[in-house]
Structure 1
């Protein structure tokens, strides 16, 4: 059994879902492990990680609209606004979606379904550089 880690840096231009599947898959491939478990951890409280459909762009549109409804930017709704009106809604969205993923590695590849991809879900409006820790353990 062996293990390896790295940090993946992702620059986001603002709110949205950013597909990181290819970058993660390339790193996994370079580790030359036939089977194991990949863990991803987003090191932020205002961005999250999702496994989501990759075929229909409408899925992303609907997800963004849904989170706008359940965690709206409303200056009167929240006490915490240290970094602006999108600050607390970003924390709520992260709490609802999560910051970590665990994905089995089978036959040297992530065992994602046909229509699944990995996304960094940026909840803030302004650009950010996000850091995702990757940990792979296996053989």
Structure 2
């Protein structure tokens, strides 16, 4: 029995983290849906002259979230929104409904999708795949003002 080598790994690289740079990104959402933050994240990386390290994005809310998803076919985002609505429907008899019928399902959707992302930065660029984008997901029906903390840790040019 022979085993084919199906894995490959580049040689490790090492940098001394000399920079911690932070910024607060304010996003006005149009209501329920996805807002692409990729270009803002890339601009932040360029502005801080990042070279190698990591970008953390953290949303300061409990009814909106962050995700990395496909950016080529918009129907992916439609189907993802449908899936989230099926997992946490508004008419499920939630106890917490002080802010309306979409509030508790929004909290559940945030728990399922997450409030932070970690993206490697290599040679001054986000190490996203070809079809990946960074999205803020607004889970509430009405528009909201959302805050996302951007923080780069690593070396700069």
The TM-score normalised by the length of structure 1 is: 0.97
Q: Unaligned 5+ residue runs, structure 1?
A: none
Alpha carbon RMSD of aligned pairs, Å?
0.7
Q: Which runs of 4+ in 1 moved over 2 A?
A: none
Establish whether residue 125 from structure 1 lines up as the match of residue 141 from structure 2: yes
Question: What's 1:70 paired with?
Answer: 87
Question: What's 1:26 paired with?
Answer: 43
Task: Pick the aligned partner of 2:98 from 82, 94, 101.
Answer: 82
The TM-score normalised by the length of structure 2 is: 0.86
Alpha-carbon distance between aligned partners in 2 of 1:63 and 1:104, rounded to the nearest angstrom: 24
Larger relative contact order, structure 1 or 2 (CA cutoff 8 Å, min sep 6): 1
Structure whose CA Rg is larger: 2
Alpha-carbon distance between aligned partners in 1 of 2:69 and 2:39, rounded to the nearest angstrom: 14
Q: CA deviation at 1:125?
A: 0.2
Alpha-carbon distance between aligned partners in 2 of 1:2 and 1:57, rounded to the nearest angstrom: 36
Alpha-carbon distance between aligned partners in 2 of 1:36 and 1:3, rounded to the nearest angstrom: 10
Alpha-carbon distance between aligned partners in 1 of 2:50 and 2:39, rounded to the nearest angstrom: 17
Q: Unaligned 5+ residue runs, structure 2?
A: 1-17
Question: What's 2:23 paired with?
Answer: 6
